[in-house]
Structure 1
């Protein structure tokens, strides 16, 4: 009987650890492989030759929901757990660029700085398990 209890305890512990290893945001990772498959490589980032940044933002968000979205001056920014997807007008279509949050925030600060937290501030809660919580 003790062996059955041990197996049950070990099984429950494994299930609990697996549940805790996932992030509380449902694994809000940027859909990089999908973006690579869906859009054409274009030097820096990816290109959609026909859709506007707003349409591309809808497509990406529709595939994998972002935490937040900001639109500014024809650009669209999608925030994922550790990354920012920037979609900008490009030759009648759109350019899609993926940056880690810190680099993307620094680069696109004039457009997102008043909306999203600075990664160097105390208000920032990004990163891996337990970070900033």
Structure 2
């Protein structure tokens, strides 16, 4: 009876560890949406930082949550988080922050994302649960 109880306890601990590890991956690859909502002013097109440059805003976002990849071009900064991406563009005296699906963002800005994987190719691996498993 004692051995059976020990095996059940070990199995429960292993299952809990596995579930925690799998769920943590999804959160680590996610855009920090809630932080962006709290930090920046919402507009109809995204969020606005009236004072900072795109590179400054991108750095602040990546300090909150590190991206999978980063690129820049045309005065804009691009941060990739799994199946989503953030575009930070110059806007008047500050920056406009947009969050969009990776596929849409890639097609919209692909001339600046030359080394990122095309979302329609077999080399693209999104960032949802189970990525790389």
Question: Is the pair's TM-score, using the shorter chain for normalization, greater than 0.5?
Answer: yes
- 2:35 aligns with 34
Partner residue, 2:57:
56
Matches of 1:12 and 1:61 in 2, distance apart?
33
**Runs of at least 5 residues in structure 1 that lack an aligned partner in the other structure:** none
For residues 65 and 100 of structure 1, what CA distance do their matches in structure 2 show? 18
Alignment match, 1:87 = 88
TM-score (norm 2): 0.87
The secondary structure found in structure 2 opposite 1:69 is strand
Matched, 1:124 2:124: yes
Contact 2:88/2:97, CA 8 A, preserved across alignment: yes
CA distance in 2, matches of 1:10, 1:16: 10
Q: Deviation of residue 106 (structure 1)?
A: 1.4
2:24, 2:105 → 1: CA distance? Answer: 21
Q: CA deviation at 1:130?
A: 3.7
Q: Is the 8 A contact 1:53 1:93 kept in 2?
A: yes
**Structure 2 CA distance for aligned equivalents of residues 131 and 7 of structure 1:** 29
The separation in 2 between residues aligned to 1:122 and 1:99, in whole angstroms, is 21
Deviations 1:9-65, CA, capped at 9 Å, x for gaps: 432332243144236587211100000110001220001111000100011011111
**8 Å Cα contact 1:23-1:128 kept in structure 2:** no
Q: TM-score, normalised by structure 1?
A: 0.87
How many residues align? The count is 132
Runs of at least 4 residues of structure 1 off by over 4 A? 23-26
CA distance, structure 2, for counterparts of residue 53 and residue 38 of structure 1: 15
* Secondary structure, counterpart of 1:22 in structure 2: helix
